[in-house]
Structure 1
């Protein structure tokens, strides 16, 4: 009778080890997490500072080189430089009040600026377009806030019109930054936020 080696195992004793990934359930792999900007929000604050600097520089030029409400044609018949002062909000809202609106809108701008500074530190690092929009709004809000606190009114000088038929309210660089920033944030909310939340864990 043939002998068998003492270390021979039967087929029933053999255990086949499968790689861990072979038993993983599809769809349950861990998604990467959304990471808050934290200290990296500094790069977005620098964008806000760029907006503030450009806004204040162009306002200084307008206020020192232009005469009040005397249009200087730039691109006929659609663009003038026209110095104007706004004592109210956008489109001169509440501009004809007794002066209290200066502090009301200054306080509103300050509150918005503080909120945006905090929100930028907590916004997802992956949401670059959202961060750009928030930084533009922050820069524009602070740019107009400086005017309200320093001289009690906002300096405007960009005058878009069509001949003498149609005139858009005169505005400034800070207003452009705010409008573009709001548009970017809305685009992010409508088209990108859902995709981002599906790709990353909160």
Structure 2
């Protein structure tokens, strides 16, 4: 069941990136909430916040190792802790979603831009980034506050 959920999350990520690549590249930005949220097409050739820019081989290798390690851990510990399972599913799905882009496009398609007028400007991101962030934050909270 875990791998079905991972596949569905990756599919959602890839469909939204496909739409962004084919629609936003022509018409951008699209304001969703004026002064707070818009959709804009960005080709990210690095990792989070653009680090390791144009280091495709390093990013693909590292991401692949992380994915294999997390899948192995999930498989070996399946069902022992549902919250950890959910966190790992999210991180794995996000990592796979962005890995697909890096392998086939040489960049990651980002399109969600959150900002607060001229006060705050978060880097543009995608659904895979959301999955990884939520999974990592929930896992951190679980391990720090709820595990012995």
| TM class, shorter-length | over 0.9
Match of 2:109 among 139, 151, 155: 155
1:136-151 to 2 correspondences below 5 Å: 136-151=90-105
CA contact (8 A) 1:69 1:84 kept: no
What SS does the corresponding residue of 1:82 show, helix, strand or coil? strand
Show the 5 A alignment for 1:41-52. 43-52=1-10
Distance 1:69 1:116, change over 3 A: farther
Do 1:87 and 1:154's aligned partners in 2 also have CA atoms closer than 8 Å? Answer: yes
Shift of 1:77: 1.6
Could you tell me which runs of 5 or more consecutive residues in structure 2 were left unpaired when the two chains were aligned: none
Residue in structure 2 matching 1:123, options 61, 77, 80: 77
Greater CA radius of gyration, 1 or 2?
1
Picking from 40, 65, 72, the partner of 1:111 is 65
RMSD across aligned C-alpha pairs, in angstroms?
1.6
- What is the TM-score with the length of structure 1 in the denominator? 0.69
* CA–CA distance in structure 2, aligned partners of residues 51 and 193 of structure 1: 27
Quote the offset at 1:45 in angstroms: 1.7
Q: TM-score scaled by structure 2?
A: 0.93
- Residues in 1 aligned to 2:26 and 2:89: alpha-carbon distance in whole angstroms: 31
Paired residues of 2:14 and 2:97 also in contact (CA < 8 A): yes
- 4+ residue stretches of structure 1 with deviation over 6 A? none
Kindly indicate whether residue 38 of structure 2 is the aligned counterpart of residue 80 of structure 1: yes
C-alpha displacement of 1:190: 2.1
More strand by share: 2
Q: Which has the higher helix share?
A: 2
